[in-house]
Amino acid sequence: MVGVERRRGAPDEHRSRNQRLNMPFRCEQPFPIGQFVASTHGRTIQPGSPRVSRDNPFAWCKPRPAVSAAAPPEAPTNVWLTPDRVFTVLLAVAFPLAVASHFLFPGTPTFVIACIALIPLARLMGEATEVISHKLGAGLGGLMNASFGNAAELIIAIAALRAGQLEVVKASITGAILGNLLLVLGMAVVAGGATREKQTFSATAALSGSAMMFLALVAMTVPDLFHFSQGAAAEPVMQQLSVGISIVLLVIYALSLLFALRTHKHIYAAEEEGSGEELPSWSQPKAFVILIASTVGVAILAELLVEAIEPAVQAFGFTHTFIGVIVIAIVGNAAEHSTAVLVAMKNKMDLAFNIAFESSKQIALFVAPVLVLLSLPLGHKLTLEFSHMEVAGMGASVAAATLIGLDGESNWLEGVMLLGVYAILGVAFFFVP
């Protein structure tokens, strides 16, 4: 093997030259070019060994290891302050205050505090349902999620139905659809697209949800058109017409579950894969206990909320329609709001679109027909005849959400458009008498 004897001289000078060359080598003993003596020092020269020469003075130098740039220190994060803990603290404070306010300060304070307490309870109900359905599997789990996904809205509507607040019930149905398709989806698109040029999702799944919402829109438009065309002669048969339409909607809803859970479940594979990552690590018994407890809590708060509607209407100057379309709908959809925004920020727009469309579909094809059928034994007959403004609002929301989902891509400006449509409709409903 060839060795190198470096002539004694000024090694620092030549070491500095080696450093100035900025070569990707590391030499333990650099030497001046042209002043070296090659000798074997009693060692055998291996064939193919590199020889030091004037053209290759660094033959025995080892490659300099790459030095990676030091990663910037991560910003300190508050581990304690998580969404789950914020909702838990909010529930622990607001729920007992709402109950106490009902006995000590009934009226408007009870309405406000009950609305605040319903937000974390609705989230707990949604999370418990998701955990149980995820552990049960695609078949039974999907059926349970479809049945109890909007249980909070259903319980609030039943409480209003028992109290005879039919206008509030219809307005809450309208508001839930508008809130999911415009407010929830709009906030998700803005949050996800704020740091990205665009986001992609399954256009097939989005258009499938849009088609189901168009069916629901037709079902809620026909009674209004029938009454408008027939006049007073249509009033005696409006209840029978609504019951017939409700049965058709429930049958189609069951078939849509068969489509999503059995025959074409591959279309929704992306949503199913991403949904499990967002679930809390609860055991199935714990999830059942939380679901039962939160259901009882929502039922209690719903009664308190409905009893305080009239004082709130007089205190704030809101109409029953505005309270149903905006206030109660936002409270009931709080779980969808937070979940859709969080998954959109993680670039899971398939799941965000699925949350918005599935929740709207459950309200239109399941909750509304069930309320019509439940109104028969309760003595307060509910129909599917909505006002012209409510029908127009639902039509605008379905059209806007469908336009966003046509190309399978979204950006933050499209989210702003959805929020703008919701704000315009909100202003209009504020002035509806």
DSSP per residue over 257-281, as a string?
HHIIIIITGGGGHHHHHHHGGGS--
226-233 long-range Cβ contacts below 8 angstroms, 24+ apart: 227/385
- Type of residue found at 419: L
Instruction: Name the nearest CA neighbour of 256 among 213, 227, 292.
Output: 213
Q: What is the 3-state secondary structure (H, E, C) of 59-103?
A: CCCEECCCCCCCCCCCCCCCCCCCHHHHHHHHHHHHHHHHHHHHH
The pTM assigned to this predicted structure is 0.74
The chain-wide mean pLDDT, for the chain, equals 78
User: What is the rounded average pLDDT of the residues 337-351?
Assistant: 83
Hunting for tokens 């059995």 — which residue is that? 262
The Cα–Cα gap between 79 and 82 comes to 7
Q: How far apart are the first and last CA of the chain?
A: 100
pLDDT of residue 270 exceeding 70: no
Position 21 scores a pLDDT of 46
d(CA 76, CA 73): 9
Cβ-contact 299, 291 below 8 angstroms: no
Q: CB count, 10 Å around CB of 277?
A: 10
Alpha-carbon distance 278 to 83, whole Å?
12
Give the helix/strand (H/E) hosting 4: strand 3-6
Inter-residue contact 53 to 8 (CB < 8 Å): no
- To 10 degrees, what angle do helices 166-178 and 388-405 make? 20
SS (H, E, C) 128-182: HHHHHHHHHCHHHHHHHHHHHCCHHHHHHHHHHHHCCCHHHHHHHHHHHHHHHHH
Closest CA to 345 of 187, 126, 179: 187
Instruction: List all residues 6 or more positions away from 279 whose beta carbon is below 8 Å from its beta carbon.
Output: 127, 130, 131, 134
Q: Check if the beta carbon of residue 359 is closer than 8 Å to that of residue 336.
A: yes
Please tell me the class of the 84-430 domain.
Answer: mainly alpha
pLDDT at residue 101 tops 60: yes
% the chain with pLDDT above 70: 73
Whole-number Å distance between alpha carbons of 56 and 149: 74
Rounded distance between C-alpha atoms, residue 375 and residue 149, angstroms: 21
Q: By C-alpha distance, which of 338, 386, 384, 373 is closest to 359?
A: 338
Is the model more confident about 10 or about 301?
301
- The three-point CA angle 97-99-105 to 5° equals 80
Neighbours of 431 (CB within 10 A): 10
Q: What angle do CA 264, 265, 267 make, to 5 degrees?
A: 80
pLDDT of residue 248: 94
Name every residue whose Cβ is closer than 8 Å to that of residue 230 and which is 6 or more positions away in sequence.
none
- Give domain limits for the chain: 3-47, 84-430
Residue 77: burial class (beta carbons within 10 Å; 0-12, 13-18, 19+): exposed
- The model's confidence at residue 423, banded by pLDDT at 50, 70 and 90, is very high
- For residue 255, report the phi and psi dihedrals to the nearest 5 degrees: -70, -35
Interatomic CA distance for residues 178 and 324, integer angstroms: 11
Indicate if the pLDDT at residue 247 is higher than 90. Answer: yes
- Among 420, 415, 405, 419, smallest CA distance to 213 is for 405
- Write the pLDDT tens digit of every residue in 350-401: 888 888 888 888 899 999 999 999 999 888 889 999 999 999 999 999 999 9
Question: With the C-alpha atoms ordered 220, 221, 222, 227, is the resulting torsion angle positive or negative?
Answer: positive
Strands (E), 181-236: 199-200
C-alpha separations of 181 from 46, 224, 348, 358 in Å:
76, 22, 17, 10
Where is pLDDT greater, at 77 or 217? Answer: 217
Task: Quick: pLDDT tens for 288-338.
Answer: 898 899 889 989 999 999 889 888 888 888 888 899 899 888 887 776 677
